[in-house]
Amino acid sequence: FWHDDEYYKGKKNGGSRTPKQLAEIYFNTVGGNASFLLNVPPDTRGLISDREIKTLNEFSAKIKDTFKENMPFELMIVDKDGTEFIPGADGFLLQDNEIGAMLRPSGKFRTIVIEEDIRYSQRVESFEIYVDNIRKVKGTTIGSGKIINFPKGIDADEILFVVTQSRGNPIIRSIKLYR
C-alpha cells in the first residue's frame, strides 16, 4: 500500500506514494467509514528512511490543514412538514417524521464530516446533501465517519442533510464543517 504500483512491478521509477496520493486515499477510506493502514516499511537498517519521514510529515500537514478551522453554523432538525427545531447538544435522533438537518453556515466551507453514534449501531443506508437547494452529494453509509470534500470550497446560505434510507431511526452524533 505504501508504495505505488510501479514499485511492485520492479520498475526504476517506482517508489513511495506522494503526500497528495496518500491524502486522496485517506479521504476515500477514512472518509468512507473505513480504517486507514499505512504499512510504512523499514529500510535495510530496520528504520523508517528520511525520505519516508518527509512524505509522512507532508501527508500529515495536508490532513491537519483540512481540519484546522472548524466552522460555526446554526443547526436545525427538519421534519417532513418543513418545521424546524433545535437538536440537543449531544447529537440527535431522527424520528419517523424527520428527514434531516438544516445547516446555516457563516461563509465558505470545504469539508463536511458526519458521524453516526455507532454505540447504537450504524443505521444510515443512504443520504443526500443539498447546498442552496441543489443536490451536491448522494451517499451511502455514514457509520463512524463520512468525510465529504469540496476542494474549491462552497459558499452557501443553507445546507440540507437528508437521510433517504435507514435501518431504524438514525442517531447522528455530529455534523461538522471546515473552512
- Tens of each residue's pLDDT in the chain, 179 residues: 566 666 556 555 557 788 999 999 999 999 998 988 888 888 788 888 888 899 999 999 999 999 999 998 888 888 777 777 777 666 777 877 677 888 899 889 999 999 999 998 999 999 999 999 999 999 999 999 999 999 899 999 999 999 999 998 888 988 999 99
Q: What CA–CA distance (Å, rounded) separates 178 from 158?
A: 15
What is the model's pLDDT at position 26? 92
The model's pTM is: 0.83
In the chain, pLDDT over 90 holds for what percent of residues?
Answer: 49
Question: H or E segment at 65?
Answer: helix 50-66
Question: Whole-angstrom Cα distance, residue 163 to residue 171?
Answer: 11
What does the alpha-carbon distance between residue 24 and residue 96 come to, in Å, rounded to a whole number? 36
Q: Give tens-digit pLDDT for 92-110.
A: 778 776 778 888 998 899 9
Dihedral angle, C-alpha 157, 95, 170, 107, nearest 10 °: 10
Angle among Cα 95, 99, 105 to the nearest 5 degrees reads 115
